[in-house]
Amino acid sequence: MPAIISVAKSACVLFTGIAAVFSALQIDYPTAIANATATATAIPTSSATFNTELQKSSRLTLKISQIRFSPDSKSLAVLSGDRHLSNWPVAGGNPTASTFIASIPLTCLEWTSTGESLYVGTSKSQVLFCDPKTLDINFRIHSENEIVHQINNVGQPESLLSFGNSVNSLGKLIQGTPTLWHNDIHSSLKNIPDLHYTCMSRQQDTGLFAFGSSTGEIILVDLFSNTEPIILAKVESSIDCLKWTGKNLIATSEGTLHLIDSSKNQAIKSLQVSAKPIRHIEISNDEKTLFMAAGSETVQVRDAVSGNIICKLASINEMVSTIALSPDGKTLAVGTCQGHVTFWDTSDFQIKSIIPAGIN
């Protein structure tokens, strides 16, 4: 008799468990609802609220790794994670094209000077040339660098400058020399100092390139002349970001802004503005306003002359991963680690739209 009672109890427990599981399977988990609205307060911060319900775990969220506006400011190319590539109309709407490249990790983006093609760097010794309308790979070029960290167009058709890491005979990554691809020929830059380069920036009017190094040197290079590269300036720590403003250059290093006079080859002003490295900086077309991202949920907007803060841009309380300013200066795009890109109107610092470029 006790054995029969024990079996009955076990059966009750089993049926109760099955019922609980069956009940749980009937739950209809809500998907995300994205309603973002811009607000402004007396505090110098522009922000938007982002109301999000529970998301299904099957959704894939990718960090916005890099964003680049087309030369006509009408499209934004977005690299999410290291595999997902998309192209979005700045005016709003669904992506023009979207693709997931499973065969090769992607590292960086750049448009050609005409906007007819998109350069995509990889970590497999290749630079891809993609059609921005479809993101089909038209052709590939071999890169001297195993991992391509940055690409810049040089203002000439089918020409680009890149730098990254190479692999030595032991299979270890070493710093590679910046490489120019021009007229179907690869060539390393001549006489450039053997340094660990971290970033580069092109001066639009002259075509001069500035390279920042991990030891604080800033090297000025004229790609298509016989002049020797020169050391423009040197600071005490690694260069995190470079950006030209007219004939002067802004360099960031350990949260400090350095304004460098390229005609005198010296730093003329330094200003500590952040406790964190400033890895992304943009400058308005009138050269009066700086936009900076420094490892937080906001973008700092500062006066380019005094360095004083004007306001902070906060869209959806997500960590900012990258920023880009459109060539016409009208739109600032801000990517986050949680897969969103916010388009800001630079005339009034109000939000135009938010796109889920990294959420699939």
Which domains are assigned to the chain? Answer: 39-53+280-360 (2.40.10.480)
pLDDT on residue 2? 44
In the prediction, which pLDDT does 52 show?
A: 39
Residue bearing tokens 């009138």: 286
CA distance 214 to 330: 33
Q: Residue 317 in contact with residue 291, Cβ under 8 Å?
A: no
Work out the burial of residue 35: count CB atoms within 10 Å of its CB; fewer than 13 is exposed, 13-18 middle, 19 or more buried. exposed
Q: What is the CA radius of gyration of the chain?
A: 25
The low-confidence residues of the chain, meaning pLDDT below 50, are 1-44, 47-57
Query: Residue type for 320, please?
Result: V
pLDDT value of position 182: 83
Distances (CA, A) of 5 to 14, 17, 123: 14, 19, 66
Q: What is the pLDDT of residue 45?
A: 54
Contact 94, 77 (CB under 8 A): no
Distance CA 32, CA 348 (A): 29
* Residue 24 confidence (pLDDT): 36
* Residue 306 dihedral angles phi and psi, to the nearest 5°: -85, -25
pLDDT of residue 316: 80
φ/ψ of residue 232, rounded to 5: -75, -40
Spatial separation of the C-alpha atoms in residues 49 and 37, rounded to whole Å:
6
Quote the pLDDT of residue 349.
94
Looking at residue 218, what is its pLDDT?
A: 95
pLDDT at 46: 52
Name the amino acid, one letter, at 27: I
pLDDT at 12: 42
Burial 164-176 (b: 16+ CB within 10 A, else e): bbbeeeeeeeebb
Predicted local confidence at residue 302, as pLDDT: 94
> By three-state DSSP, how is residue 25 classified?
helix
> What's residue 53's pLDDT?
33
In this predicted structure, what is the pLDDT of residue 50?
A: 40
Q: Side chain identity at 271, as an amino acid letter?
A: L
DSSP 37-98: EEEE-SSSEEEEEE------TTS-B--EEEEEE-TTSSEEEEEETTTEEEEEETTSSS-SEE
The bridge status of strand 266-272 relative to strand 280-283 is unpaired
Question: What is the pTM assigned to this prediction?
Answer: 0.82
